[in-house]
């Protein structure tokens, strides 16, 4: 059965309920994974999404920061969460579909501004979070699994607007890319978006600080869709809905879509 999934860092699900609803109405993915909901679960506007057909929800929230949710048209079971790096943050939740596919929704720590764990605790926490992800997937190799989310790393040269200029900028430093690769290798994950769109610059995030984000186009691909080795061949038709970055009161991220024949 083919299904389409999208992942979107929404930067407050309460403030942006209107554009989440717009996405659900206009694009109608079977599943939408949200990050940075910035809300306890019981204050998320889930009734609005249920009215649009997304009555199945698996979520973790906290006041003000982080928070992840999986909105689904299809029945989905809560499959738990992990607290990597011992941060006590709502950064992961998993759901299991009736066909057995497990969906992991992650919001990896951004890591602060200085790419040095001696000078910036947040950067160390980001690397530790990724190391814990690696160890977890090494211990139990994912099967029939999809991992999505804001991983806060743009791994490839063509995932950023200027590779050389960003080598010392958090999200594109070699040590982060190395940790990112270690998570992929440990789980046997494949990058679905790049399997579908192998060539060319590809971004999912544009800073709020740029005057004209569209014309300047100084983007980064921070949001990812991965598939476990056994189902990677089922994935196709990836796209990034760049237009959503220009919607009213936008998130600084655009949604990333992938379709699977499973």
Partner DNA sequence: ATGGTCGTCGCACGA
User: Can you give the binding site for DNA, defined by CB under 7 A?
Assistant: 11-12, 14-15, 36, 38-39, 63-65, 109-112, 122, 207-209, 249
**Min separation Cβ 205 and DNA, Å:** 9
Q: Is 185 a catalytic residue?
A: no
CB–CB of 79/56 below 8 Å? no
Distance CA 15, CA 34 (A): 13
The reply, when asked if residue 143 is annotated as ligand binding, is: no
What distance in Å separates the CA atoms of residue 154 and residue 69, rounded to the nearest whole number?
22
Q: Which one is catalytic: 107, 159, 179, 224?
A: 107
For DNA, which is the closer residue by CB, 15 or 201?
15
Gap between the terminal Cα atoms of the chain: 5
Exposed, middle or buried: residue 144 (CB in 10 Å: 0-12, 13-18, 19+)? middle
C-beta of residue 116 within 8 angstroms of C-beta of residue 173: no
Residue 9, annotated as binding a ligand: yes
Supply the minimum distance, in Å, between the C-beta of residue 186 and DNA: 23
253 is catalytic: yes
How near is the Cβ of 163 to DNA at its closest, in Å? 17
CA distance 91 to 108: 7
Beta carbon nearer to DNA, 98 or 214: 214
Q: Which residues are catalytic?
A: 107, 150, 253
Q: Which residues are annotated as a binding site?
A: 9, 36, 150, 152, 252-253
């Amino acid at each position: 059965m083919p299904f389409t999934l999208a992942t979107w860092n929404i930067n407050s699900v309460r403030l942006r309920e209107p554009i989440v609803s717009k996405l659900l109405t206009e694009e109608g993915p079977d599943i939408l994974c949200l990050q940075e909901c910035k809300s306890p679960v019981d204050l998320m506007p889930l009734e609005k999404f249920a009215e649009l057909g997304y009555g199945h929800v698996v979520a973790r929230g906290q006041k003000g920061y982080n928070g992840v949710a999986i909105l689904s048209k299809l029945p989905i079971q809560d499959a738990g969460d992990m607290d990597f790096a011992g941060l006590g943050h709502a950064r992961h939740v998993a759901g299991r579909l009736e066909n057995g596919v497990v969906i992991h929704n992650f919001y990896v720590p951004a890591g602060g501004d200085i790419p040095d764990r001696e000078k910036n605790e947040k950067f160390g926490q980001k690397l530790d979070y990724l190391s814990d992800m690696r160890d977890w997937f090494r211990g139990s190799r994912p099967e029939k699994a999809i991992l999505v989310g804001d991983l806060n790393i743009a791994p490839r040269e063509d995932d950023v607007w200027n590779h050389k200029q960003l080598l010392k900028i958090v999200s594109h430093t070699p040590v982060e890319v190395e940790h990112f690769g270690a998570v992929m290798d440990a789980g046997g994950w494949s990058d679905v978006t790049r399997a579908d769109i192998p060539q060319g610059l590809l971004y999912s995030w544009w800073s709020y600080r740029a005057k004209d984000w569209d014309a300047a186009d100084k983007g980064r691909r921070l949001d990812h869709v991965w598939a476990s080795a056994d189902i990677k061949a089922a994935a196709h038709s990836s796209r990034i809905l760049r237009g959503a970055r220009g919607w009213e009161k936008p998130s600084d991220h655009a949604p990333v879509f992938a379709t699977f024949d499973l």
